């Protein structure tokens, strides 16, 4: 199997899939740690539903989907932030509102445009092997932005995530950093759509994070373990999809889940905080 | 030097007035006990001092400024009222949490001050748990971690919202001795919200009694001589405070 995989590396589309997929899986996991701890786990689901709506809009307008999805999903993520802060509703409810409106708009637009077609379904389930060179470049730019933001604002992000009131009292620009995290999450979710599809995007955000939390010995430690687990799932998922001729996106998610089960088992056997 | 000054401060929650025309001035080295009944606006006042709440009218200045930049916030140490605010499964070690007290002087994306953290761990007798996760600790241990976070940056102003509530008697005494030493030897200004009117007279030099407005602000001697305080405190409470003070 090893030789087979190495052979596949000769193909440009495989290399693009591995490169872009690895970058996207890394940033999904890093953002996932922050989002899960802030009880915003379902934001991936919510924003990916908006992505569905925006892809339907792009297809109805016959324009490149990412060009429409990026701004629409970024605005929606800021809408969630505003609703939570200003309308006095909890994050999960705000995500629910944006998510359902996203899906409803998608269905309406798809219907107006003549019904669901193969292209729209390909976005629902993802196709990492169809990633283009321009999407690889976009993934690279976005990944650099996310990783730089997390690295340079690591302490502020930790402080806000753990204790927002203390963070504000310390003079941390909490609103600015929250906005930054939401925008980066929105852009990442749009990119993740190409890897695992709209239906499974939140898995890339949530599963590596909860895997890391099973045995993490600190926040910094969780921020290292989650991307590592995510990266391993991505690479092994793509490799297995070649060998078994199964969809890569679904395999990546299943392998992520297997890692979670293994981490839970380790914690359980070690008599850790399993409760 | 004036450290905290409140001028004609009004705060409302919606249409409900919480603080009305609050005026006081706290000087460097003051040790102020902030007392008052439930719902009297103590925590609201603390939030205004910290800049977490915007007043409807009036102002609160810290070190002469209405707002402080992040690097100037290193002068302030803050211990919130509740210690059960956080997710108990948050994967964070004691050291990581204490280091957050040093965030105002972060350089190059990182917080520095390992020595300061170690000293604080030792002061509060929690060196042995520095690598443990916060959620695995008892309430008293967690309280000490948050106290360490408030003290680690060697603040000039320390704002404590009911700090002794979860501590064992021994640890509590050590902690109050540490506060007294910081106040007397280093001139740290302390504002402490408390319901322990029996204990506050033992430590604080001034009393700020709040009930949506300032009922009394001044030294303990003045308070103990004041006859009209009985209507607010009841004679027993006033007696307890003054007895401990002397």
* Contact assessment for residue B149 and residue B98, using Cβ atoms and an 8 Å cutoff: yes
Domain containing residue B143: 87-154
Kindly state whether residue B180 falls inside one of the protein's structural domains.
yes
Tell me if B38 is assigned to some domain. Answer: yes
pLDDT in tens, A106-161: 888 878 776 666 667 777 777 788 888 988 999 999 999 999 999 999 999 999 99
pTM of the model: 0.86
Of A109, A233, A136, which is closest to residue A194 (Cα–Cα)?
A136
ipTM of the complex: 0.85
The predicted pLDDT at position B228 comes to 65
**Contacting residues of B for A165, CB less than 8 Å apart:** 52, 80, 85
Same domain membership, residue B185 and residue B144: no
Which of A39, A159, A222 lies nearest to residue B91, judging by beta carbons? Answer: A222
Lowest model confidence (mean pLDDT) among A63-67, A218-222, B74-78, B79-83: B79-83
Digitized pLDDT (tens) for each residue of chain B, 246 residues in all: 889 999 999 999 888 889 999 999 999 999 999 988 888 899 899 999 998 888 999 999 998 888 777 777 888 999 887 666 778 889 999 999 999 999 877 776 677 788 889 998 988 888 999 999 998 988 888 888 998 999 998 899 999 988 876 677 777 787 888 888 889 988 999 999 987 776 777 788 899 989 899 988 988 778 777 776 666 666 666 666 666 555
Same domain flag for B53 and B167: yes
Q: Does B130 touch chain A (CB under 8 A)?
A: no
B70 interaction partners in chain A (CB closer than 8 Å): 170-173
| B48 and B149, same domain (yes or no) | no
Give A131-139's long-range contacts (Cβ < 8 A, gap of 24+): A131/A13, A131/A16, A131/A17, A131/A20, A131/A21, A131/A194, A132/A16, A133/A16, A135/A16, A135/A20, A135/A66, A135/A191, A135/A194, A136/A16, A136/A19, A136/A20, A138/A66, A138/A191, A139/A19, A139/A20, A139/A23, A139/A24, A139/A191
Angle at A172 between CA A171 and CA A175, to 5 degrees: 120
What crossing angle do the helices spanning A154-162 and A174-196 adopt, rounded to 10°?
100
What kind of fold does domain A2-269 have according to CATH?
A: ABC transporter involved in vitamin B12 uptake, BtuC (1.10.3470)
Q: How many domains does chain B have?
A: 2
Residues in chain A: 275
Whether the per-residue pLDDT at A271 is higher than 60: the answer is: yes
Best A40, A88, A147, A163 residue to mutate vs chain B (most B CBs within 10 Å): A163
Among partner residues A39, A170, A216, which is closest to B73 by beta-carbon distance? A170
pLDDT at A89: 80
Whether B41 and B150 map to the same domain: the answer is no
Structural domain contains residue B147: yes
Say if residue B119 is in the same domain as residue B234.
no
State yes or no: pLDDT of A41 exceeds 90: no
B100 contact A CB<8A? yes
For chains A and B, CB pairs below 8 A equal 90
- For chain A, the domains span 2-269
The answer to whether residue B233 sits within a structural domain is: yes
CB within 8 Å: A169 and B73 = yes
**Bridge pairing between strands B57-62 and B2-13:** antiparallel
Interface test with A, best of B71, B91, B161 (most A CBs within 10 A): B91
């Amino acid at each position: 199997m090893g030789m087979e995989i190495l052979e596949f590396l000769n193909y440009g589309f495989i290399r693009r899939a591995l490169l872009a997929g690895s970058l996207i899986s890394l940033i999904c996991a890093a953002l996932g740690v922050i989002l899960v701890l802030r009880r915003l786990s379902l934001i991936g689901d919510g924003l990916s539903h908006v992505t569905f709506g925006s892809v339907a809009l792009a297809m109805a307008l016959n324009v490149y989907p990412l060009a429409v999805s990026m701004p629409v999903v970024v605005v929606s993520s800021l809408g969630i932030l505003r609703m939570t802060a200003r309308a006095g509703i909890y994050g999960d409810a705000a995500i629910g509102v944006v998510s359902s409106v996203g899906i409803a708009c998608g269905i309406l637009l798809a219907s107006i445009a003549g019904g669901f077609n193969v292209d729209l379904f390909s976005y629902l389930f993802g196709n990492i092997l169809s990633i283009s060179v321009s999407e690889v470049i976009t993934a690279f730019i976005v990944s650099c932005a996310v990783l730089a933001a997390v690295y340079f604002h690591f302490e502020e992000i930790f402080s806000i995530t753990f204790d927002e009131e203390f963070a504000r009292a310390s003079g941390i620009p909490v609103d600015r950093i929250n906005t930054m995290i939401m925008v980066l999450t929105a852009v990442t979710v749009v990119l993740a759509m190409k890897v695992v599809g709209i239906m499974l995007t939140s898995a890339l955000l949530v599963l590596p994070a909860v895997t890391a939390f099973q045995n993490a010995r600190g926040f910094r430690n969780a921020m290292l373990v989650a991307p590592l687990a995510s990266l391993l799932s991505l690479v092994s998922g793509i490799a297995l999809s070649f060998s078994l001729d199964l969809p890569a996106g679904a395999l990546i998610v299943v392998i992520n889940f297997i890692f979670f089960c293994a981490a839970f088992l380790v914690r359980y056997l070690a008599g850790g905080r399993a409760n | 030097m004036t450290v905290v000054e409140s001028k004609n401060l009004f705060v409302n929650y919606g249409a409900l007035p919480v603080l009305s025309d609050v005026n006081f001035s706290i000087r460097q080295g003051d040790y102020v006990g902030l007392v008052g009944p439930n719902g009297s606006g103590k925590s609201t006042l603390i939030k205004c001092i910290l800049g977490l709440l915007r007043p409807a009218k009036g102002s609160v200045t810290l070190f002469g400024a209405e707002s402080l930049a992040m690097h100037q916030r290193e002068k302030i140490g803050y211990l919130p009222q509740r210690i059960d605010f956080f997710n108990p499964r948050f994967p964070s070690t004691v050291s990581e949490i204490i280091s957050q007290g040093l965030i105002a002087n972060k350089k190059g994306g990182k917080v520095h001050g390992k020595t300061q953290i170690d000293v604080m761990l030792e002061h509060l007798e929690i060196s042995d748990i520095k690598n443990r996760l916060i959620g695995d600790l008892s309430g008293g241990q967690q309280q000490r971690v948050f106290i360490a976070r408030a003290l680690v940056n060697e603040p000039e102003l320390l704002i404590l919202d009911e700090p002794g509530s979860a501590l064992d008697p021994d640890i509590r005494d050590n902690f109050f001795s540490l506060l007294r030493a910081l106040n007397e030897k280093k001139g740290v200004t302390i504002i402490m919200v408390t319901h322990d009117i029996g204990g506050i007279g033992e430590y604080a030099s001034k009393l700020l009694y709040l009930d949506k407005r300032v009922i009394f602000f001044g030294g303990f001697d003045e308070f103990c001589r004041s006859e009209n305080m009985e209507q607010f405190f009841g004679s027993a409470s006033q007696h307890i405070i003054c007895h401990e003070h002397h």
